[in-house]
A and B are shown apart, each in its own frame.
Chain A
Amino acid sequence: MMRIVTASLHSLAALTLLAPVLLLAQPTSSSPDEARFREIYQRQYNAVKGVASDMVVMELRDRIELVASRGSQVGAASNDRRVRGFESALLQGLQAAHCQGATATAARPSPAVIEKVNSAATAQRLRTESADVAEVSALAQRLLDSQPRERWCALKSLDDIR
């Protein structure tokens, strides 16, 4: 009985945490903000189609640098450290999501990628706006799509992407 209650509580907590992400992934519930998010995401995702992966990494780094330069918390780490920290957190997050048996979702934008982008930004205390998250998620998704799973899972840094 106790186990059932604990499992139910865990499920409830997981649902509460995932609810915003799931809502974002629903194509039917389209608020103006969400429609704009999707538009930016799709535009960025399509724009870098055919661009070499290492150049996509640089595009992503540029976006993060821009967000970091928009204003840091006083006393926070330098921009460079925060950019690198973001990349590292994003890579680890995406590896955790895609390399531990879970199957990649075909949905675009992928809720998992958006969530990892958001959590990496939060970890570095970056002040992201919706448009930033959309662009960075699209670039991260493009990188994810460009690499075979084994190679992606073996990456130590985004600089290793060729």
Chain B
Amino acid sequence: MNRRLRLLIGALVTLISGEVLCEALPRMTSQAAYKQISRTGELRRMQIDGDLDVAKMRAPTGVKRIVLREVHLEGKLFSSGGGPSVELQIVDQSRVRDIDLRNSHWKTALLIENSVVRDRAWFDGAQFDAAFTLHASVFNGQTIFRNTRFAAPVEITSSQFEPAAPVTSSVSFADARFAAPARFDRSSFKTGVRFDTTRFDADASFIGVAAPVRASWRNVIFGGDAEFRFCRLGDADFGDAEQMSVFMHLADFRGCKMTSLRLDYADIRGDMLLVNAQIAPGDLSLVQASLRGANNDFRGLHVGGRLDLQGAQIANLQLQWNEIRPALLRSSPGSDVLRPLQSRLEELKKDDEAREVSAVLAHRLNSERLAQADMPMDDKATLWFERVVWGSATGYGTRLGRIVGVALTCWLLLALPIALARQLRLGTLRSMPEKCPPLHQALTSDTLDIERGSPLTRAAHSLAYTFALMFTLPDFHLRPVEPVPGRWHAYLLLIRGIGVCLLALIALTLAKVSPIIQAVLGKIVG
């Protein structure tokens, strides 16, 4: 087949298919639609110019459902009384301008699938006794379920609620009641969604739900499991002191991505799973929340803003300190938050992490005490000393590397004046006496060999002598040669004192960080 022929066939196919797509549907009136439904129970590929009253839809005997298939309703679907006599299905690329089922009472099921509702989808105050399903449908106007009662399972899945401008109102399920399981899986709510004061008597599933702006579940009771796995939410709000939410069973946020998450005062009685949840750039707030489940798992949690656990009671917490540390510290946690965390990490035998928390806790306690206005000056001075010497130098006994580094730096700095001083000479003991004189004590030149070595040798001697002086090396052979000026004598004593302090700090830190030394100390003490 040559290229031109192929192009011609392609163009013809395009034209024909376009014709089919644009082909106007046969039109009928509302009355004709009622008649057709009463004959066959189905409308297929029709455009209805007018409103349709579901209360007037009567299916023929034996037919279990009324189906509107690829129907374009240019008016509104409404109810002058109850719903239709049998289940109503609106499917297969049907288009409805408006749905106004406010305050209607349906005893039969309603299904809208693969269809579009253009302007209004109002279900306020309606009652659905049978299943209610919206699947893979698009809602381009206002959608409202305020105060709606659902007695049977609800599935609002894979549907898109994308109001076109100028509509900016969010989809409201405020005050709705779900007596049976409700699923909102993979639906998206472009302008936000609100479930405030809603009651879910059974399981509620929001798996993969998307609401990039705002999603609100304030003052909600989740009677069954609440599953939010892999959700994509903007600011997710589950209430505060005045409008708190209750989760009677599982609260599963695994793999969720949210801009922020507020669970203040939430009462979560089942497991709370935040594994691999990402909350950024906002905060995760669990102020005064009560997490009472057997497994409250925060592992893999990433919070870009602050993690606020003030007053939160969290039982059986699973966490990785390094993962939550930055976000938690951004919220300046008090000792009431840090102490239980430390205890929990100790319980979990995560000793390194518990030690890290203990350092933060010690620092916080120090700050809290320093902040007390009525603290006497001498106590304040003690606290500052503790903060600088114990806190900064050793990380409150948790940073062995840091204190060793500090000690080595001190050694080098303190050795420098000895290396440069002309008045202070060092000599080697000719013979090691039975009782060695103290390291800082100067000796006469007849007991010492005084070398006139190179500057390098002098520097090496200075370093070796300072090290020995600081860390009290036994049987060391270098000593100062008399006469030693008074101020140098004081300097040598100072080095000795600093050395003792550093040794004590290293020993204390080692005792805290080394399990072996802890065990040995335990045996000695116990």
Contacts and interface: CB of A to CB of B under 8 A. Distances in A.
Contact of A69 (B122, B168, B174): B174
Interface of A: 47-48, 51-52, 54-55, 58-59, 61-63, 65-66, 69, 71-74, 78-80
A55 B172 contact: no
Interface of A is mostly: helix
A69 to B, nearest CB: 5
Contacts of B166: 47-48, 51
B288 interface: no
Contacts of B120: 54-55
B288 to A, nearest CB: 14
Contacts of B225: none
B142 A55 contact: yes
A12 B174 CA distance: 45
Contacts of B172: 62, 65
B174 A79 contact: yes
Q: Which of A48, A54, A55, A73 has the most CB of B within 10 A?
A: A55
B169 interface: yes
Contacts of A62: 169-170, 172
B147 interface: yes
B498 to A, nearest CB: 58
A3 B469 CA distance: 101
* Size category, B interface: 20 to 34
B197 A80 contact: yes
B196 A65 contact: yes
A69 B242 contact: no
A63 B168 CA distance: 10
A59 B167 contact: yes
Contacts of B218: 69
A55 B196 contact: no
A51 B142 CA distance: 11
A158 to B, nearest CB: 13
A48 to B, nearest CB: 6
A59 B242 contact: no
Given A65-B196, A69-B218, A79-B175, A55 B243 contact: no
Contacts of B197: 78-80
A156 to B, nearest CB: 16
Contacts of B165: 47
Contact of A73 (B169, B170, B240, B242): B242
The 5 closest A-B pairs by CB, nearest first: A62-B169, A47-B166, A69-B196, A80-B175, A58-B142
Contacts of A63: 169
Contacts of B242: 71-74
Contacts of A59: 142, 167-169
Contacts of B82: none
B147 A80 contact: yes
Contact of B174 (A47, A73, A74, A80): A80
Interface in B211-252: 216, 218-219, 240-243
B270 interface: no
A151 B122 CA distance: 24
A51 B163 CA distance: 13
24 contacts: A47-B165, A47-B166, A48-B166, A51-B166, A52-B119, A55-B120, A55-B142, A55-B167, A58-B144, A58-B169, A59-B169, A62-B169, A63-B169, A65-B174, A65-B194, A69-B174, A69-B194, A71-B240, A71-B242, A72-B242, A72-B243, A74-B242, A78-B197, A80-B147
Interface string B170-200: 1010110000000000000000001011000
A123 to B, nearest CB: 19
